[in-house]
């Protein structure tokens, strides 16, 4: 018995000492600090916690898009979501600033316009968590009440956010669709409840409001002005100047980012948002113009989940500037490897890979860089013994005295590439050399030659569709801008009934009018530099009091404050939009069957009366409507916009919208929303891909295929050389350079020199076999060689003695 007790005591004391957790060797860092803060706050305790516990440091969100550098620096995939809410917030601010100053009071947006607009922001964009418009006190006018001319509401703040419908009794399938959106007027509160007043400091989480409001400026020249020239259906021109959000050249620009915060009492998530101010002329109708001053009256705020934003764990460096709260938390072995972030991981460890530094290579048994996710899961023994690179000795220097390649070798290299792509034509080759396509686009077709080409061979102004490979991913944000507007128009046409009657003084929204549609397309063009043109094209007799209506907004240059809108209904013949391929395609596809459309459910809580008091359910609760998603749209082949508004190579995305027929028995195609982008915005992918990938430039890279592999480089645009040649397993980079790969642009340039029979280094741009990492003497091997030599010598002596 005594022996048994001794054994138990031994196990209880010794085992906790000798059993070590897998991750005990990892020291706590800033990621753990933020993780603890996230876990500390819940929907149950958020209202009683200190306000500092509801916010994270501002540098936990890094590399936020800056409008001053857009179009100059590339935006990488791990920041496209932030860029999208940036552009969407700017879009909504420009729209409301335009319509509030342009439209008469009775034609301004009503309650349902605001609600359905914010709902469309969330419904059409899978990464957006919420969208809202917050008005300052007594600065929101509305046509939704009778006899409310030149009167304001105390507060008005329509906000929509995505709801979890997994257990929603209205959603019978019992699965989460992400298509249920809750909307509420946050201005519908009692006057004495300060903690519910989003303009009061007791609201705690309203940094987005205090970023711009209240506006204390009292000068007529305090707001940036923008100009639009509108050409109407009858050919008359109208020029309108209005006060909008700050321009890119203004300081600090139109967008201010919030700190990540816990959305307490609302969506109860950690979110981060972008806020943009909305100016209007205030006060109105005084008869004294000198006191009617452009003033910020509201802010547009769009937000997304914090845990969906990638973090950068790599050390501070040229590509990872300060401030970055998570910098240096990667576990790469810094002596031989360097950190490189990977997109798509969100807020969790491991969103990086450890690449070999210049002068080092991977061990022969390792094929790819070490993934951070695997390193983070490693035990201490695995970490200490692995995840490092080996030294490369006898590095060479790239030759500076370039000579011509021998004719036999030159023809051999050229012949190898000719067998993979066509150099001389664009019609019969299964894979095209990007040089041929780029030269054709930039030298043969331009605004001066396109008209003659269109007369002789109009098909020459349309490229093969697979030349624009990758547009679905690279231009997804722009396509979703069209989807958002199509979603909103579908909701308005299916939900709004102008003949409906409500209790007391509330009146229904009116149908969409010309100013509202023009403002929507104009805002899309202003807010996104990639979109050169945006239009809404109504089918025949589908717009009130108009046979045809098709406003198209466009810009003629970047970074401008002057824009243009033209009603395309005034054009006939080849420019008639009803005859365009994209319009006909969508019309035929959705002519008889709309079952494949997405169904959206929304639960709207409106204000009790004009003073607010408290929110009540909208008269129809919940509401449902059908709209297109991004896969329901249509991408055109690249084409040259000859004698149009742009005179450039473009690619267009069209999204359909739908409404009830005359007897409200079925949905029908009502028209389409289009966005047009320059083909030059696309990156060419010359690397290998799956056999079913419809890429005209697939596998046209010039890397040495035996020793290296092609990896795309983002941000190079529609030009050849957007890749790098990395050494394969068992090979090493032979040159003493600050990089460990051959740049595709250099490879392409050297190959062109080879084709032109000029001096070229192309024959040297290849990796070499990875041999021994060092030539140091090994004593064991020397002793073994001496022993073998001695035995061999002795055997020869014995042999000679015997014979």
What's the confidence (pLDDT) of residue 799?
39
Overall average pLDDT of the 28-51 stretch: 95
Angle between helices 111-123 and 80-102 (to 10 degrees): 160
Tell me what the pLDDT averaged over the chain comes to.
90
What's the confidence (pLDDT) of residue 420?
64
| Rounded Cα gap, residues 381 and 463, in angstroms | 56
| Rounded Cα gap, residues 157 and 206, in angstroms | 12
pLDDT tens per residue across span 390-422: 999 899 998 888 999 999 999 988 888 776 665
Q: How confident is the model at residue 501 (pLDDT cuts 50, 70, 90)?
A: confident
What the block records as the tokens of 287 is: 């008869």
Nearest to 567 by CA among 515, 642, 634: 515
Would you tell me how many other CB atoms lie within 10 Å of the CB of residue 201?
A: 11
SS3 of residue 797 by DSSP: helix
Res. 2: pLDDT tops 70:
no
What the block records as the tokens of 690 is: 């799956």
Nearest to 204 by CA among 39, 306, 54, 59: 54
Most confidently modeled range among 79-83, 176-180, 668-672, 697-701? 668-672
φ, ψ (nearest 5 deg) of residue 667: -80, 150
| Rounded Cα gap, residues 742 and 395, in angstroms | 15
What's the confidence (pLDDT) of residue 226?
97
What's the confidence (pLDDT) of residue 319?
81
Would you tell me how many other CB atoms lie within 10 Å of the CB of residue 359?
A: 17
Query: Who contacts 20 (Cβ-Cβ below 8 Å, separation ≥6)?
Result: 380
What's the confidence (pLDDT) of residue 201?
92
What's the confidence (pLDDT) of residue 177?
86
Q: Concatenated DSSP letters for 7-20? A: HHHHHHHHHHHH--
| Rounded Cα gap, residues 314 and 328, in angstroms | 5
Task: Report percent pLDDT > 90 for the chain.
Answer: 75
Res. 51: pLDDT tops 90:
yes
Res. 17: pLDDT tops 60:
no
Task: Report percent pLDDT > 70 for the chain.
Answer: 92
pLDDT tens per residue across span 267-276: 999 999 999 9
Q: Concatenated DSSP letters for 378-439? A: --HHHHHHSS--EE--S-B---SS--PPPHHHHHHHHHHHHTTSBSS-SSS-SSB-HHHHHH
| Rounded Cα gap, residues 415 and 335, in angstroms | 43
φ, ψ (nearest 5 deg) of residue 98: -70, -50
The residue that leads in pLDDT, 234 or 72, is 234
pLDDT tens per residue across span 320-347: 889 999 999 999 999 999 999 999 999 9
Q: How confident is the model at residue 778 (pLDDT cuts 50, 70, 90)?
A: low
Q: Tell me how far apart the terminal alpha carbons of the chain are, to the nearest angstrom.
A: 80
Query: Cα 496 from chain centroid?
Result: 32
| Rounded Cα gap, residues 518 and 497, in angstroms | 22
pLDDT tens per residue across span 596-617: 999 999 999 999 999 998 999 9
Structural domains in the chain, CATH included, are 77-308+470-680 (3.30.450.20), 407-461+683-769 (no CATH)
What's the confidence (pLDDT) of residue 775?
47
Length of the chain: 803
| Rounded Cα gap, residues 420 and 701, in angstroms | 10
What the block records as the tokens of 722 is: 């957007």
Alpha-carbon separation of residue 261 from 52, 89, 271, 272 (angstroms): 9, 18, 6, 7
pLDDT tens per residue across span 187-209: 999 988 898 999 999 999 999 99
What's the confidence (pLDDT) of residue 511?
95
Q: What is the pTM of this model?
A: 0.91
What's the confidence (pLDDT) of residue 160?
97
Most confidently modeled range among 99-103, 164-168, 218-222? 99-103
């Amino acid at each position: 018995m005594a022996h048994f007790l001794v054994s138990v005591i031994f196990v209880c004391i010794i085992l906790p000492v000798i059993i070590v957790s897998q991750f005990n060797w990892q020291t706590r860092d800033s990621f753990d600090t933020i993780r603890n803060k996230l876990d500390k706050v819940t929907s149950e305790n958020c209202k009683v916690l200190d306000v500092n516990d509801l916010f994270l440091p501002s540098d936990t969100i890094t590399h936020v898009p800056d409008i001053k550098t857009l179009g100059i620096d590339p935006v990488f995939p791990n920041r496209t979501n932030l860029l999208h809410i940036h552009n969407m917030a700017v879009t909504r601010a420009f729209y409301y600033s335009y319509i509030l100053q342009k439209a008469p009071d009775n034609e301004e947006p009503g309650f349902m316009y605001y609600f359905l607009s914010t709902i469309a922001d969330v419904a059409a964009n899978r990464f957006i968590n919420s969208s809202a418009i917050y008005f300052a006190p007594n600065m929101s006018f509305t046509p939704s009440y009778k006899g409310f001319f030149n009167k304001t509401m105390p507060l008005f703040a329509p906000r929509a956010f995505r709801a979890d419908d997994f257990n929603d009794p209205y959603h019978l399938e019992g699965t989460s669709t992400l298509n249920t959106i809750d909307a509420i007027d946050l201005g519908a509160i009692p006057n004495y409840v300060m903690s519910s007043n989003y303009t009061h400091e007791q609201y705690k989480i309203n940094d987005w409001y205090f970023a711009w409001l209240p506006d204390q400026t009292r000068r007529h020249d305090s707001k940036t002005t923008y100009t639009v020239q509108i050409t109407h259906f009858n050919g008359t021109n109208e020029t309108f100047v209005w006060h909008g959000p700050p321009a890119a050249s203004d300081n600090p620009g139109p967008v201010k980012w919030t700190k990540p915060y816990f959305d307490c009492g609302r969506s109860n998530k950690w979110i981060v948002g972008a806020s943009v101010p909305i100016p209007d002329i205030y006060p109105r109708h005084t008869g004294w113009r000198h006191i009617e001053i452009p003033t910020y009256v509201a802010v547009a705020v769009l937000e997304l989940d914090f845990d969906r934003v990638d973090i950068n764990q790599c050390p501070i460096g040229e590509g990872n500037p300060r401030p970055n709260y998570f910098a240096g938390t990667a576990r790469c072995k810094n002596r031989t490897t360097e950190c490189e972030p990977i997109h798509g991981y969100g807020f969790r460890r491991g969103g990086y890979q450890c690449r070999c530094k210049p002068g080092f290579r991977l061990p022969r048994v390792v094929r790819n860089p070490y993934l951070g996710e695997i390193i983070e899961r490693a035990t201490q023994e695995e970490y200490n013994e692995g995840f490092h690179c080996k030294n490369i000795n006898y590095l060479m220097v790239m030759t500076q005295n370039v000579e011509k390649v021998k004719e036999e070798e030159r023809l051999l290299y050229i012949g190898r590439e000719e067998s993979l792509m066509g150099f001389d034509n664009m019609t019969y080759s299964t894979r095209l050399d990007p040089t041929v396509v780029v030269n054709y686009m930039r030298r043969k077709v331009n605004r001066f030659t396109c008209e003659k080409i269109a007369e002789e061979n109009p098909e020459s102004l349309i490229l093969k569709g697979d030349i624009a490979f990758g547009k679905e991913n690279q231009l997804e944000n722009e396509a979703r801008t069209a989807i958002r507007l199509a979603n909103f128009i579908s909701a308005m046409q299916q939900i709004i009934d102008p003949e409906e009657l409500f209790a007391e003084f509330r009146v229904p929204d009116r149908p969409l009018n010309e100013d509202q549609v023009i403002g929507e397309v104009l805002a899309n063009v202003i807010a996104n530099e990639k979109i050169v043109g945006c239009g809404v094209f109504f089918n025949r007799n589908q717009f009130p009091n108009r046979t045809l209506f098709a406003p198209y907004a466009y810009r003629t240059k970047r970074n401008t404050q002057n824009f243009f809108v033209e009603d395309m209904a005034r054009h006939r013949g080849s420019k008639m939009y009803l005859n365009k391929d994209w319009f006909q395609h969508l019309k035929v596809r959705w002519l008889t069957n709309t079952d494949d459309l997405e169904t959206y459910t929304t639960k709207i809580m409106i204000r009790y009366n004009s003073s607010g008091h408290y929110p009540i359910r909208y008269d129809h609760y919940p509401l449902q409507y059908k709209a297109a998603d991004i896969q329901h749209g249509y991408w055109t082949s690249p084409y040259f916009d000859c004698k149009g508004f742009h005179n450039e190579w473009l690619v267009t995305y069209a999204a359909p919208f739908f409404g009830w027929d005359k007897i409200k028995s079925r949905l029908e195609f009502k028209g389409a929303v289009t966005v047009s982008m320059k083909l030059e915005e696309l990156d060419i992918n010359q690397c290998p891909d799956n056999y079913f990938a419809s890429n005209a430039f697939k596998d046209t890279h010039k890397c040495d295929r035996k020793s290296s592999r092609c990896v795309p480089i983002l941000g190079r645009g529609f030009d050849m050389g957007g890749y790098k040649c990395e050494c394969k397993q068992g090979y090493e980079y032979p040159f003493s350079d600050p990089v460990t790969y051959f740049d595709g642009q250099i490879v392409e340039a050297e190959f062109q020199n080879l084709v032109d029979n000029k001096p070229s280094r192309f024959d040297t741009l290849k990796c070499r076999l990875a041999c021994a990492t060092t030539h140091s003497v090994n004593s064991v091997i020397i002793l073994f060689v001496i022993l073998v030599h001695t035995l061999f010598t002795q055997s020869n002596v014995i042999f000679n003695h015997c014979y």
